[in-house]
Amino acid sequence: MENSQIVFFIFSALILVTAGLVAFRPRPVESAMWLILNFFLTAGLYVLLGSHFVAVIQVLVYAGAIMVLFVFVILLLNLDPRELGTDSSVSWGSLILFVAFLSFILLSLHVTTPELLEKMPPIKAGSTFGTVEALSKTLLTDYIFGFEMAGVILLLAIMGVGLLAYRKINNPRIVNGSERP
Amino acid sequence: MEERLTRLESLNIDRETIISIAFFAGKILFIFGLLFGFIAPMMVWVERRVCGLIQDRYGPNRVGPFGLLQTMADGIKLLLKEDLRPTEVHPGFFILAPILAVIPAAMGFAAIPFGPETTLGGILREPQRLQIANLNVGFLYVLAIGSLGVYSVALAGWASNNKYTVLGALRASAQMISYELAAGLSIVTVVILSGSVDLVKIVESQKSVWNIFPGFLAFLVFLPAIFAETNRTPFDLAESEAELVAGFHTEYSGMKFGLFFLAEYVNMATVSAMAVLLFFGGWELLPWLPWAKTGLNMDTLWFLPTIWFFVKLAFFLFFFVWIRWTVPRFRYDQLMALGWKTLIPISLFNMAATTTILVFQKMP
């Protein structure tokens, strides 16, 4: 077995373990912390594949921005541990459904992967694959339409949030951000 | 004869390997020794002495010459203190938080280059970079690691089970997300100007003109953003002792508090290095005079640019301290308004304007 394969299996095993911990830890903050570790390990997989840019973006966007918001919301809600209960809230029915769905996906991947691998162009040794330059060139030439569409969709989402947040200020019952009694 | 020659050749290869390993280990030892062994302790002393100077009093001047050993005495005190753990804290995260403060701080500096490519005066066969980790993602790595510092503050606040610490943690996380955007956008402007994300190439592109001149607006956004990112006055709302006791680290004492303290200074060093590399020409001598034009033999005097880089870094570290004891703390709504309503629009406008100008310049 090659060294990179050993590293891959270690990372994958840890990803599965941390994902399980995200689902089964009773406290939301603990789940969030395991999820951050999970994102890091996934970034490690990207590095193994040679896509350093995607790995860094994974850490920057998911671990550095989105999860900060999650933790922020958890801190704001400040849930009482008695309200949450000590047992995990996952019921057996949903667990069985999840495992069945997951095995279906894995099975279909197992069937289709060899075919997809044949279609993939081979990566030349010493190519610039995965670097910022190569990725941005591909994004802005071959995939310009999809790239710009993603930008427009994100802009729409931002504008939607702005609209929802702005409406409240026009409410005459709200002064300086807090509602009048 | 034949046998001896092959043995000599194998020895020769071994020597090369040993030198490259020693070079790599030397870089790591130099950077981390300098950060944790010199910059951080010196900065504690400088902070207190400059504070004394600005407030017209002495500051620490009893332990050692000019009070230089004061930090060492404080460090010994912090290490020998009882390791207190309040009863109602979350046992795991309470310990994890200070560790999470130091690790990203140390990791961030690993991608900072501190000199041009050099052979160390002929010791190395080929010129090599004075940088611990040469990543093709460049500054993005420093940003990504820097954005993780917020977890130590958030966890420390949450795990302490105290309303003041939770408030401090809340403030810190909101503040860091907001100012990360402004900092990132202003760095993007620099990347557009220099045409690379690699920090060494960004410095090389500043040989004739430092980025501070075309990118002055970007620097105006970057400067407050790095103060907010490192939780320094006038943006240290996460600790603001007048309202929140000591903010997120209220329940910490001994070396656990010491680690937060250490991480703050190491983070300051990292963002100062970023400011020097992105806007002030890195290790280049003067805006109009790069090292190559001085007429000095840079092969033998290879250490001069590195020393000059750390001199610039030291100025920025001093600037942090200077600002801290001069500018009063912002109110929280002022902080948020400055971040979202001033800095982000300015940096967005600046990015668009810079791109437009560059596109028109390059048009035939």
Model confidence band, residue A150 (pLDDT cutoffs 50, 70, 90): very high
Model confidence band, residue B238 (pLDDT cutoffs 50, 70, 90): confident
pLDDT of residue A148: 92
pLDDT of residue B6: 59
Higher pLDDT, residue B169 or B9: B169
Taking each helix axis from N to C end, the angle separating A28-48 and B149-159, rounded to the nearest 10 degrees, works out to 160
Residue A103, min C-alpha distance to chain B (Å): 34
> Nearest CB to B144: which of A56, A131, A132?
A56
Interval A93-140: pLDDT, tens = 888 898 899 899 989 988 888 877 777 766 655 566 667 777 788 888
Interval B325-336: pLDDT, tens = 888 888 888 888
Is ipTM strictly over 0.85? Answer: no
Smallest Cα–Cα separation from B266: which of B11, B38, B14?
A: B38
Interval B276-320: pLDDT, tens = 988 888 888 777 777 777 777 777 777 888 888 889 899 999 998
Highest mean pLDDT among B64-78, B235-249, B307-321: B307-321
pTM: 0.81
Residues of chain A neighbouring B170 (CB-CB closer than 8 A)? 72, 75-76
Residue B144, min C-alpha distance to chain A (Å): 4
Label residue B327 left, alpha or beta by phi (over 0 means left) and psi (-120 to 50 means alpha): beta
What is the pLDDT averaged over residues B167-192? 85
Label residue B122 left, alpha or beta by phi (over 0 means left) and psi (-120 to 50 means alpha): left
The verdict on residue A175 lying in a domain is: yes
Residues B187, B142: Cα–Cα separation, whole Å: 11
Distances in Å between the Cα of B48 and the Cα atoms of A18, A173, B255, B314 are: 44, 50, 19, 16
Residues of chain A neighbouring B93 (CB-CB closer than 8 A)? 29-30, 33
> Nearest CB to A78: which of B136, B166, B173?
B166
Mean residue pLDDT of chain B comes to 83
What is the pLDDT averaged over residues B116-123? 74
Q: Which of A54, A56, A77 to mutate to test the interface with B (most CBs of B within 10 A)?
A: A56
> Nearest CB to A132: which of B137, B170, B177?
B137
If one counts the domains in chain A, the total is 1
Model confidence band, residue B83 (pLDDT cutoffs 50, 70, 90): confident
What is the pLDDT averaged over residues B261-290? 85
B14-18, B213-217, B262-266: segment of lowest average pLDDT: B14-18
Show Cβ contacts of residue B116 under 8 Å, excluding neighbours closer than 6 positions.
B130, B200, B203, B204, B283, B291, B305
Residues B196, B219: Cα–Cα separation, whole Å: 18
Model confidence band, residue B128 (pLDDT cutoffs 50, 70, 90): confident
pLDDT of residue B340: 87
Q: Is B179 on the interface with A (CB under 8 A)?
A: no
Model confidence band, residue B13 (pLDDT cutoffs 50, 70, 90): low
Residues 184-213 on B with a CB inside 8 Å of A are 197
Instruction: Compute how many other C-beta atoms are within 10 angstroms of the C-beta atom of residue A96.
Output: 10
Residues spanned by the domain of A147 = 143-181
The verdict on residue A98 lying in a domain is: no
pLDDT of residue B1: 53
The verdict on residue A156 lying in a domain is: yes
A134-148, B37-51, B98-112, B287-301: segment of lowest average pLDDT: B287-301
Whether A72 sits inside 8 A of B145 (CB atoms) is no
Residue B146 has pLDDT above 60, yes or no: yes
